[in-house]
Amino acid sequence: MTKPKAAIYVRVSTEEQSKGFSLEGQKYELLNYIKHKGYDLYDIYEDDGYSGKNFDRPAVQRMLRDIENKKLDAVVVWKVDRLSRENTDVLNLINYYLHPNGMKLLVSTCDIDSSTETGYMFISLLSTFAKYERQQIIQRVNNGMKKRAQEGKWNGGIILGYDVVDKKLVVNREESKIVQEIFQLRAQGKGYKFIANYLNSKGLKTKKGNSFSINAVRAILQNQKYLGVLDWGKHQEWDKKRRSGQQESVPVVEGEHEAIIDQELWNRVVQINKEQKENHIQRSNFKGEFVLAGILKCPMCGAGMVMSKTKKRNGKGYHLYYMCQTYHTKGSTACKSNLVKKELIEEKVLNTIKSLLLRRDIVKEICEQINSDKSNETADLKQQLTLQQKELKKLENQRKKVENDYLQGELDVRVYNKTMLSIQNKEDELNEVIRNLEMQLEKQSSTFNINEDLVIEALSNFENLYDTADNETKKMLLRSIIKSIEVDPNRKEIKSIVFWFLENNASFENNDLPKSLLGRTVS
């Protein structure tokens, strides 16, 4: 008689590795356990260095696929928290993967079997405790870090100007000179880009060995730790605080580490930052008008181009340009400004688009692409519908099994009601998905194929729509049809335009573009 097959799942996180937790130890115990239980080994699924907060782990995903394909009879773990510290993850694995396929979860440390009522109850309790334990660990760690910070102790991380020795910040004399120079330059009124370019021209690097950027310089100049103080918690749960608009004040305490700059220099820099921020707000009223920002590429490095403006000599208004973003953030050691006149390039791009969109060969390709996409979309919808209907059938079979088990007295009323409610909710969700897919398929079948005349009529409205649109709408229109624009090294002519709507993002090189619009072309 063929023995049932068991799959072993083992996991240790990076933190657990450092504390001596062993994958080999888990595997040794589980291999003996399944042998004692009368199982043959199907496979060992191993996640090394992964947290148990969810199922986003490669071995777990491979195991779930094998369960769906019914390649095994049981999943065996050392402890419930090896699978997940989330109660819902463990119960979903049992309720939606294992039990519907006639499989079970076995936990070796307490010899628990999910297929029994008592085993199911204990697994639910154990996974609940695992989640609680994880929350307690996080809270204890945060409390410990907060306490260390209140005592002026370093909580980890890297910072230019310091080395970490025995969990303490120790001044790195060479790096501290860079930090001091950055603050001195800023106190003289130098901009972030000037400072980044100056540092890069001297071959200096950040703590991670990268070139200095505007953001790197700004972060250094806003870091109070260089005063010898700590402001731990400033960026804790920053995403939540930013979304909610919170401006929580963070207590500043005297640190154990030595200061690199003095209070007077810090105050001068804070004042310069404030003044330049106010000036920037007053001057940044052209930002929305640069409709090609990002999709227009630098002819040297290929980075997107961003806004640039210089005051006219008479002081009335600005000269407007597109400028290389790499140069803007890292200075002339990384690339050149490669300024492109805003009015010139935008007019050439728009005229080129208008001309190209009315060419019969392009219109024909657009029609073919749209109709091909429609056909592929219909096939995808049908495939999705078939898969959802299969899932609904599985739930129907699961419902029948639960009802039969209840009638046979194998389930008590509490478990029966809970399971049936879960199945009903899942059926409702699937039925809603199926209805939407059927509606989309019906809509697809009722639409006709696109012909060239219809496309020409639609594209002919582009000019009117663009001319009457505001700047944000113009950006959206251009980005909906253009992936990227390259300019010639002379920065006066278009080299190529890549369109989204053509197959494989086909592009038009300079010799394909209308010469009457672009002037000379490069051979």
Question: What average pLDDT score do residues 43-68 get?
Answer: 85
25, 16 in Cβ contact below 8 A? no
Look-up of token digits 């230019």: 160
Looking at residue 455, its pLDDT comes to 59
Instruction: Give dist(CA 430, CA 298) in Å, integer.
Output: 49
Looking at residue 181, its pLDDT comes to 94
Return the higher-pLDDT residue of 518 and 127. Answer: 127
Q: What is the pLDDT of residues 134-159, one digit of tens each?
A: 556 556 656 655 666 566 666 667 88
Q: Is the pLDDT of residue 165 over 90?
A: no
Q: Which long-range contacts (CB under 8 A, 24 or more apart) does 33-39 make?
A: 33/76, 33/106, 33/108, 34/6, 34/8, 34/76, 37/6, 37/106, 38/3, 38/4, 39/3, 39/4, 39/5, 39/6, 39/73, 39/74, 39/76
For 3, which DSSP code? P
Q: What is the pLDDT of residues 267-300, one digit of tens each?
A: 999 998 887 776 655 555 444 478 888 889 999 9
Cβ burial of 453 (10 Å; 0-12, 13-18, 19+) is exposed
Q: Is the pTM of this model over 0.85?
A: no
Looking at residue 42, its pLDDT comes to 94
Looking at residue 306, its pLDDT comes to 87
Instruction: Give dist(CA 177, CA 202) in Å, integer.
Output: 13
Question: Measured in whole angstroms, how far is the alpha carbon of residue 488 from the centre of its chain?
Answer: 34
List, as one string, the DSSP characters of 86-138. Answer: -HHHHHHIIIIIIGGGT-EEEEGGGTEETTSHHHHHHHHHHHHHHHHHHHHHH
Paired tokens of 493: 């002519």
Helices (H), 151-187: 173-187
Looking at residue 432, its pLDDT comes to 82
Q: Are strands 482-487 and 494-499 parallel, antiparallel or unpaired?
A: antiparallel
- Side chain identity, residue 72: L
Looking at residue 238, its pLDDT comes to 39
Instruction: Give dist(CA 87, CA 92) in Å, integer.
Output: 9
| Residues forming beta bridges with residue 164, ordered by sequence position | 169
DSSP H or E segment with residue 52: none
List, as one string, the DSSP characters of 301-315. Answer: T--BEEEEEEE-TTS
Question: What average pLDDT score do residues 208-220 get?
Answer: 88
Instruction: Give dist(CA 329, CA 324) in Å, integer.
Output: 9
Look-up of token digits 């935008």: 346
End-to-end CA distance of the chain: 77
**Mean pLDDT for all residues in the chain:** 77
Residues ≥6 apart with Cβ < 8 Å to 506: 365, 498, 499
Class of domain 5-147 as given by CATH: alpha beta
The least confident of 52-56, 164-168, 281-285 is 281-285
Q: Are strands 74-77 and 5-12 parallel, antiparallel or unpaired?
A: parallel
39, 4 in Cβ contact below 8 A? yes
Q: Is the pLDDT of residue 451 over 70?
A: no
Looking at residue 414, its pLDDT comes to 82
Q: Which long-range contacts (CB under 8 A, 24 or more apart) does 465-472 make?
A: 466/350, 471/288, 471/289, 471/291, 472/288
Q: What is the pLDDT of residues 77-136, one digit of tens each?
A: 988 888 887 777 888 889 889 999 899 999 998 888 999 888 888 887 776 665 555 556
Question: What average pLDDT score do residues 249-253 get?
Answer: 65
Class of domain 162-283 as given by CATH: alpha beta
Q: Is the pLDDT of residue 39 over 90?
A: yes
Paired tokens of 333: 């050691």
| Residues forming beta bridges with residue 311, ordered by sequence position | 318
Residues ≥6 apart with Cβ < 8 Å to 249: none
Q: What is the pLDDT of residues 332-386, one digit of tens each?
A: 788 888 999 988 888 888 887 777 666 767 667 666 666 665 666 677 778 888 8
For 342, which DSSP code? H
Q: Is the pLDDT of residue 515 over 50?
A: no
Question: Measured in whole angstroms, how far is the alpha carbon of residue 290 from the centre of its chain?
Answer: 26
> Which sequence spans correspond to the domains of the chain?
5-147, 162-283, 289-343, 344-523
Q: Is the pLDDT of residue 431 over 70?
A: yes
Looking at residue 421, its pLDDT comes to 86
Sign of CA dihedral 188, 192, 194, 197: positive
Q: What is the pLDDT of residues 472-501, one digit of tens each?
A: 777 777 776 788 888 888 888 888 888 765
For 54, which DSSP code? S
